[in-house]
Amino acid sequence: MAVIINIKQGDPPVSAATIQRAKEPTMAARGYPQEMRDDAMFAIMMDPAGAKAQAAIAALQVFNADLAETLALNSFNAQLAAYRTSAARLTRHVLADGRAEIWEDQPTGEFDPETGEPITESIMVSAAIDPLEAMVEQEIRDPETGEVTGTEMIPNPLIEADTAERAAAQAVVDGTPAEVVAYEA
């Protein structure tokens, strides 16, 4: 079997319109343009056991198998792209928790004269990020005048959005088929 567009496993997914547009050129490239298919359909209706009808049926079966393979490969690639995006989202820090400084030992380019080992120094590669406040103050406005009449404490909408995004990303990761996860591993 062969795919009807130039994609392979791990590529970015293509749109359904791209696959749809590739159908006719693929059939024409295989020596079976629309006019011949129309003639073959007539032959199938008139004499389904005839050679022309049987050749058309065989060609359509091969094309349908190739189309199914293309769609399955593109579906795999779409799931892989969604998995990668969601997994990346889950690696970001939780806004409600913040994040400590991140330090790395990096080589200085010098070597210990006694051992020959590279000399390293600790470098801060990312500053600490303070957690967001769980509750924020919101103005209360009079619906008729638009005038601020007071304030109220509400759950921080940034934390709520972060929590919802993380839950959605986790659902995608959890729902990703094993073969897609294995491909990424």
Domains in the chain, number: 3
Coil, helix or strand at residue 8: coil
| pLDDT at position 43 | 83
In a domain, 181, yes or no: no
| pLDDT at position 37 | 78
| pLDDT at position 181 | 95
Report pLDDT digits (tens) over 8-45.
999 999 999 999 999 888 888 888 778 877 888 888 88
- Is the domain of 86 the same as that of 71? yes
In a domain, 1, yes or no: no
- Category of 4 on φ-ψ map: left (φ > 0), alpha (ψ -120 to 50) or beta: alpha
Q: Which domain holds residue 101?
A: 97-130
- Is the domain of 71 the same as that of 29? yes
In a domain, 20, yes or no: yes
Longest dimension (CA), the chain: 92
- Is the domain of 71 the same as that of 86? yes
In a domain, 6, yes or no: no
In a domain, 117, yes or no: yes
In a domain, 43, yes or no: yes
| pLDDT at position 162 | 97
Which residue ranges of the chain lie beneath pLDDT 70? 1
Contact 56, 37 (CB under 8 A): yes
| pLDDT at position 24 | 87
Please state, in angstroms and rounded to a whole number, the distance separating the CA atoms of residues 8 and 19: 14
- Is the domain of 52 the same as that of 72? yes
- Is the domain of 145 the same as that of 156? yes
